[in-house]
Amino acid sequence: MPNATATISTAISSPISTATRNLILDYYDRLPAVIDRYVPDVAPDERVEAFNPGFALPELDDGVRDYFDVAGADLHELGEYGDTKLMLLDLMRNPGTNTTKTLPSLLIVARAVEYIRRTGHPVLIFSPTSANKGTALRDAVWRALDAGLVTREQLRIVTLAPKSCVDKLRSGPLSADEELRALNPVLVYDGPQPEDVKVLGKQFAQEHAAWFAGRHGSRMWFSLELRNYVIADATRAFLEQDVSPAHPARVQAHAVSSAFGLLGYSLGREVLEEQKLAKVDDRAGYLLVQHLGTPDMVLSLHHGSHDRSTLPAYARDDTTGLYTQQQSPHFPAVTFDPGEVLDPTFYTRAPVTSAEMNPLIERFGGAGVVVSLAECLQRYPLLRPWYENTSRPLPSDFRTMREWSLVMATTGVLNALDRGLIPGGGEVVVHGSGSYTTADYQPLERAAMTTVRTVDDIVAALT
């Protein structure tokens, strides 16, 4: 799809004030319809090497309500950029994570809780992560234990993160308590490619789930699967429809690695449309924002493949020392390093989800844009006033930032507007998927990490 930038009309909806919802509790009765639409078989899979606990959710008693209490989100106006209105979908309100991964993680763990209660069988969740998914899953497991939904022996979690993301891993109750630390280890992969945690983790789960079940008497659930994430993210569309319904002059902007969040939003739209609560003709467009470390979805969207040979060539400017290019408006005009990794959270190469996201943009409009650290810093002073009254104000010292998703997404929006990649005169909803600084958490204790490189290392760590 070499020319994927699409035209979007310019009608504007009426203004809105800040509107807050609990995306799980307020839409709990709608989740079965989302699951039924997306999941062919909702029953548990009891095969040892492919276990999942099914998609049944627990009844909403007081303990479960307390557990879901951190699933809050809000939609409100940020300000204007030229003749375009900017809005924030704030998905970062849980102080235990400060990212949108709270929502799917709460549902993943809730499904495990329901299975444990129904069958009595313990469950261990195993997940590779670049940091944020693992942090959110660990937070959800602790919340389930703290709410008394299950015991510490019944529900456990193991995460596998690349060493490049160690500084983003958080200390918490699962690492501070010696017994919980042993039951819920954090494995750190020190191999050359961060994304290899996915392959290594999957290989371990497939080859050693039976061994683990025999040794520990627990089902092992490899939870890194698209459907486990998009179901929760469908609720974004429900909030939008309740507060400020979508229309063709709106663009949904998101910093992405695999675009799970936008695919979930699209699923939510499908459910609303199927229920005659929204119209397909009112769909908004999409803006994918990535960094130079993994620009694969933008490459696929605008060049038809993930082949990096289509990246624009950068040349060093002898006056500024920056690298520059003018070949493609979809890539940074300036950067400190053409190969920079702005945020190691975004580590997925050649994501299979391009095959789902590209047709959505082709049909409903939008574009992709890659941003650099230099561009983010150039925009940073403009962004700070917009976010100062939100749940995630930007610090005066950008050097304390550890999660750049929000800054990336907003920088991408401004660049896309300036370059005509998306039309002005309408609205852009920035999906606030993550933002945190060194002041927001204590780093995970080194004693709570176990270094691994092979499947055998993982087996040894869990023996």
Distances (CA, A) of 236 to 91, 199, 328: 9, 30, 32
Query: Could you state, in chain order, the average pLDDT of each consecutive group of 10 residues for the chain (463 residues)?
Result: 43 58 98 97 95 98 98 95 98 98 99 98 98 98 99 98 97 97 97 95 94 91 96 98 97 98 98 98 98 98 96 97 98 98 95 98 98 99 96 98 99 99 98 98 97 97 92
- In CATH terms, the fold of domain 72-96+228-440 is Rossmann fold (3.40.50)
Let me know: does 400 contact 392? Beta carbons within 8 Å: no
What type of residue sits at position 270? E
Residue 397 DSSP label: -
pLDDT of residue 352: 97
pLDDT of residue 18: 72
The whole-angstrom separation of Cα 6 and Cα 449 is 46
Q: Would you say the CATH fold of 72-96+228-440 matches that of 23-70+97-226+442-461?
A: yes
What does the buried/exposed string (b/e) look like for 141-171 if buried means 16 or more CB atoms within 10 Å of the residue's CB?
bbbbbebebbebebbbbbbbbbebbbebbbe
The whole-angstrom separation of Cα 202 and Cα 213 is 16
Residue 273 DSSP label: H
Written as six digits, the tokens of 426 are 């309408």
Written as six digits, the tokens of 297 are 């979805």
> Which residue from 182, 53, 194, 183 is spatially nearest to 113, judged by alpha carbons?
53
Written as six digits, the tokens of 45 are 């899979």
pLDDT of residue 19: 83
By CB neighbour count within 10 A (0-12 exposed, 13-18 middle, 19+ buried), where does 224 fall? buried
Could you state, in order of their start, the residue ranges of all structural domains in the chain?
A: 23-70+97-226+442-461, 72-96+228-440
> Residue written as tokens 């620009």?
295
Domain 23-70+97-226+442-461 bears CATH identifier 3.40.50.1100 = yes
The whole-angstrom separation of Cα 199 and Cα 179 is 29
pLDDT of residue 17: 61
CA 333, 254, 258: angle at the middle one, nearest 5? 95
pLDDT of residue 204: 96
Look up the pTM and report it: 0.95
